[in-house]
A and B are shown apart, each in its own frame.
Chain A
Amino acid sequence: MADTTTAAQADQKPTRAFGRQPQRGAPQRGGARPQRGAQEPKSWVPVTKLGRLVAQGLIKNIHEIYLFSLPIKEFQIIDRFLHLKDEVMKIVPVQKQTRAGQRTRFKAFVVVGDHNGHVGLGVKCAKEVATAISGAIVAAKLSVIPVRRGYWGNKLGAPHTVPTKVTGKCGSVAVRLVPAPRGTGIVAARVPKKLLQFAGVDDVYTSSRGKTRTMGNFVMATFFAITKTFAYLTPDLWREVKLIKTPYQEHSAILSEKKE
């Protein structure tokens, strides 16, 4: 209903924002997309150990990486495991005062997600809109986090809502996510709704506080809240888990070979 129209509108919004800007924005944005897609599979040379392991296919699942909290420095790692959709939330022009007038740069907020348990949020500022967007997409991919979903009531079917009440804060904005019964949908403002959709959360109640018009903080706050779903120790996680070797240890031989 209302959801679908806003989803459709959201795609158009950034172009409307460009309309305000002297036309630099629009043509570049169209041009950026095809380039990105062509480059990725061929030219990636991994720089980090993790990158090397992933490129060789030694890591089967992204959750192996999450289990050990390994920092992900190369966005191609994420691309290997997840098929992510991205969406530009907002492009804001920001200015800095110089002797010769103002220097304008564009800050892009991009949400990335697979609508099924993984979201990422990226922010990038650059002189050109297209650069900002592609940079933000990279940043978003690097920040991808698993989302834990749970049940509101009976554990029938797949998890559909947040497992517990969680809250995230950024700046003055605090966003609270509250579990909701199946069929509720995402009860949230446009901004957090987008993020939650990308996360794959079906039903939530939200509550926010602070200057939510500061979109940057609003998105970050929801993102932090979503991140906390897996940080929360619920009783079903109390059982001790056997120690597993980290991928760096397990594949130590292979990693050391490559160096020489």
Chain B
Amino acid sequence: MTQFPAALNPHQDDILKMLACQTHLGGNNVDVEMESYTWKRKDNGHFIINLAKTWEKIQLAARVIVAIENPADISVISAKPLGQRAVLKFANFIGATAFSGRFTPGTFTNQIQSKFTEPRLLIVADPLLDKQPLMEASYVNIPTIALCDTTSCLDGVDIAIPCNNRGKNSIALMFWLLAREVLYLRGTIPRNTTWSVKVDLFIYRDTDEEPEKEKTAAVAAAPVAAVAVETVEFTQTTTEWTAEN
């Protein structure tokens, strides 16, 4: 944290995005291992997550993801619906394999199962709800990255990204930031360019449950050019819908 080169620092837009998505808002309690990621505790009891640390862990996680030669060997999982779209989009852009919905127990350990997979890396949206894949990963030597809240237990998690994993915007933003960082590292997108894909693409939508095609990515890109402060994100979702319909 102290001696990183300036290039690794977050931009102001990134921090503003995080604040807008409320990724800094933790829960009422802290798990002992998450204590170092908190900044402060508000009067109402809620913890505030140190976004500098969130940024750092995203950087670290992205580097781990990039190190996997075959991106299809990366499994991204979200049991909870709030994270499913983000997980699918992430997998789309990175080339990973997404598991949404129920994680059938034995997917990593039962070699007889048709869905048997042997990933090299596991990314999980919530260590509590995605307990099953975390446990199975521990049986098969798979390192794990997880989006952890202040209340999350870090059993079986190798890299914890402290953030708010209860809000759909926050989850979306975290996966968006991860994806973007990976694409930067790979050189797919030049650094200091804004990524044409908007965070909105990763945000969970109640009505439409099917995974979308990449046309919508282009549509989402159309409305707004690189705007510094993205507090207007919520209205952009409506633009997207109208464009589709």
Contact = CB atoms under 8 A, between A and B. Distances in A.
Contacts of A248: 73, 118, 120
Contacts of B118: 48-49, 248
Contacts of A49: 118
Contacts of B141: 68-71, 246
A259 B139 CA distance: 23
A256 B70 contact: yes
A166 to B, nearest CB: 25
Contact of A71 (B69, B72, B73, B140): B140
Interface string A11-49: 000000000000000000000000000000000000111
A74 B70 contact: no
Contacts of A256: 69-70, 72-73
B70 A47 contact: no
Contacts of A73: 111
B112 interface: yes
B120 A71 contact: no
Task: Give chain A's interface residue range (CB within 8 Å of chain B).
Answer: 10 to 19
Contacts of A68: 141
Contacts of B72: 256, 259
Contacts of B68: 252
Chain B binding surface SS class: loop
A130 to B, nearest CB: 22
A39 B139 CA distance: 30
Interface string B66-87: 0011101100000000000000
Interface string A59-85: 000000000111101100000000000
B60 to A, nearest CB: 17
A223 B120 CA distance: 31
B69 A47 contact: no
Nearest to A52: B118
A232 to B, nearest CB: 21
Interface centre among A68, A69, A249 (most CB of B within 10 A): A249
A233 B111 CA distance: 33
Contacts of A252: 68-70, 73, 120
Interface in B85-127: 111-112, 116, 118, 120
A246 B68 CA distance: 12
Task: Give chain B's interface residue range (CB within 8 Å of chain A).
Answer: 10 to 19
A70 B142 CA distance: 10
Contacts of B140: 71
Contact of B112 (A47, A246, A259): A47
B111 A47 contact: yes
Given A252-B73, A256-B70, A256-B73, A74 B120 contact: no
B64 to A, nearest CB: 12
Contacts of A70: 141
A246 B116 CA distance: 20
Nearest to A252: B69
A74 B112 CA distance: 11
A255 interface: yes
B111 A249 contact: no
A69 B140 CA distance: 9
A248 B69 CA distance: 10
A244 interface: no
A48 B111 contact: yes
Contacts of B120: 248-249, 252
Interface in A230-249: 246, 248-249
Contacts of A48: 111, 116, 118
A158 interface: no
Nearest to A68: B141
A253 interface: yes
A177 B111 CA distance: 36
A68 B140 CA distance: 11
A76 to B, nearest CB: 12
B62 to A, nearest CB: 18
B112 A255 contact: no
Given A256-B72, A256-B73, 16 more contacts: A47-B116, A48-B111, A68-B141, A69-B141, A70-B141, A71-B139, A71-B140, A71-B141, A73-B111, A74-B111, A246-B141, A248-B73, A248-B118, A249-B120, A252-B120, A256-B70
6 contacts: A48-B116, A248-B73, A248-B120, A252-B68, A253-B70, A256-B72
Closest 10 CB pairs of A and B: A252-B69, A256-B70, A47-B111, A73-B111, A49-B118, A252-B70, A48-B111, A71-B140, A248-B120, A69-B141
